[in-house]
Structure 1
Amino acid sequence: MSPPGSSNFDPDPDGGAGRADDPLDTAVWRLRSRACWKDAAELLAPYAADDAAAALKRGAILIERCMYTSRGWDAADDALRAAEALALTDDERGATACERGYLAYASTLLGNRDRADEARTALGRAAALLGPGSPTRPLLDFRRGLISQHLAHNPTGAQAAFQRAHAGAAAHGDTLLRSFTWRHLAGMAEEEGNLAEARHGFAESLRIREELGYLVGIAPALASLADVEEEPEAGRLRAEAGRLVRLLGGVPVWLAEQLA
């Protein structure tokens, strides 16, 4: 099942691109950004056995694989349960609840299994646990926007949540999340007929992903920008998106279907 919203949909991030001074973070980021989620998760596995942050990151990576491939649901659930068992502080429990809500949302959106109530409950629990200054708060706002947009069909609530996430991502220096908030705000501008604002937002999202080397996210950004450009530029952007999807073995699967 393809997600709603044509090429303006894509999975959301779990945070930034890894710290340049941490070889493990850098290696995990490079694998993740090239759609090698299983390999990235295996790199984290030895640390995830007793480290809450590593377990959470491993779970988030496997959830992202579900969103791009519509496969691996059981592995993502198992990894997330392991992260939940290690979470001790309110911030750790809030972050795992945020991932739990996102996994349930993804399962519902992609037609794996209807877990909409679980998604809402988990994100509500995350909101209660995470303090207003938590670095996870912008991601939570973004995911609550996704629920409003795709499950509750409440564009006003979605836009407000995306705007909070956009500002929070800037405040916390979460550049990757900001690429997603740019994209979703641009998509809403497109729906309202404001093509200039949509074009700007999609272009900013694409620029960030190219600068970060987030290869797996570049094709969706190209396809979205193509939707608000005129020919021949639109055709060139779609052709480049298709080339990247083929390079990554047909990932994202929902975009591969749209570009076929």
Structure 2
Amino acid sequence: MTNVIGKNTDRLSWAQELYERAIFNNDTEALAISDIELDRVEADLALARGRVIHVRFLADRTNEDPRELELFERAADLYHQLGDGRAEGEALFWVGIVHQVVRGDNLASMPFYERAHGLAIEAGDRLTQSYVVRHFGFAEMAAGQLDDARQHFEESVRLRREIGLRPGVAAGLLALADCAFQAERPEEARKYIEEARSVAEECGAHGILRWILESEQEMA
């Protein structure tokens, strides 16, 4: 996040310089460049603000804030216009999250996840890939397709191990535990739970540890 803020501060300063070139030096090309830089700032801000709204939703899971979907859609549209496939894929993933997590509509989320997955693969963005396949898994688990769900959760964990996202690994192992429990494989579920707890404790992922405790209570 700090890196994004720093880049956008630079873009705003550059946009100011371009404005001065346009108004004082009659540099019309500077206006077009300025539009691109400001579109990037707007897209980054929309994506960041949408994520903050989503975290607030997760705190109580009651009322949807309509701005969330609007912000993610705006970000995706701007990134598309900018030709930034990696960022567009990330924003489309979040559009899918609104449909699946906020609105409980797995079917509506799928086109956005599928497009996000394709763009992430093209861009070599393993982080977004790991999130998308994880949520493929949740949709499949909800539909009772537990073998397919397990395969997607395993792929998500593999990708997260590769990029060193330790809290994400712990969350992925917990999803595998929940999947195994639903498949009536309690020993396997306990194995994943213990590994998830170990990873979460090592990296200080206290939020994941809370999820683990909640899952253990549900499995008891």
The TM-score with structure 2 as length reference comes to: 0.73
2:42 aligns with 93
**Are residue 51 (structure 1) and residue 10 (structure 2) matched?**
yes
Q: Match for 2:102: what amino acid?
A: L
CA distance 1:157–1:257, shift in 2 (3 Å): same
CA contact (8 A) 1:242 1:259 kept: no
Distance in 2 (CA, whole Å) between partners of 1:120 and 1:46 is: 22
Distance in 2 (CA, whole Å) between partners of 1:225 and 1:109 is: 21
1:234 aligns with 189
CA contact (8 A) 2:76 2:89 kept: no
Match of 1:104 among 53, 58, 73: 53
What does the per-residue CA deviation read over 1:188-210, in whole Å, with 9 as the maximum and x for residues that have no partner? 11111111111110100111111
2:24 aligns with none
2:135 aligns with 184
The TM-score with structure 1 as length reference comes to: 0.63
**Are residue 137 (structure 1) and residue 93 (structure 2) matched?**
no
CA distance 1:45–1:163, shift in 2 (3 Å): closer
2:154 aligns with 203
Distance in 2 (CA, whole Å) between partners of 1:95 and 1:45 is: 8
Distance in 2 (CA, whole Å) between partners of 1:46 and 1:218 is: 27
Q: Which consecutive unaligned segments of at least 5 residues does structure 1 have?
A: 1-13, 15-40, 54-86
CA distance 1:114–1:192, shift in 2 (3 Å): closer
CA contact (8 A) 1:116 1:151 kept: no
Superposed displacement of residue 91, structure 1: 2.8
Distance in 2 (CA, whole Å) between partners of 1:90 and 1:255 is: 37
Distance in 2 (CA, whole Å) between partners of 1:141 and 1:235 is: 34
Distance in 2 (CA, whole Å) between partners of 1:239 and 1:47 is: 39
Superposed displacement of residue 115, structure 1: 6.5
Superposed displacement of residue 164, structure 1: 1.3
Distance in 1 (CA, whole Å) between partners of 2:194 and 2:151 is: 20
User: Over alpha carbons, which structure has the higher Rg?
Assistant: 2
Root-mean-square deviation (CA, aligned residues, Å) is 2.8
Distance in 2 (CA, whole Å) between partners of 1:222 and 1:45 is: 29
Distance in 2 (CA, whole Å) between partners of 1:184 and 1:249 is: 20
Q: Match for 1:226: what amino acid?
A: A
**Are residue 148 (structure 1) and residue 104 (structure 2) matched?**
no
Matches within 5 A, 1:27-46: 41=2
Distance in 2 (CA, whole Å) between partners of 1:120 and 1:245 is: 31
Superposed displacement of residue 256, structure 1: 4.3
1:127 aligns with 76
Q: Match for 1:216: what amino acid?
A: P
2:67 aligns with 118
Q: Which consecutive unaligned segments of at least 5 residues does structure 2 have?
A: 13-35
Distance in 1 (CA, whole Å) between partners of 2:116 and 2:150 is: 20
Identity %: 24
Distance in 2 (CA, whole Å) between partners of 1:45 and 1:136 is: 12
Higher helix share: 2
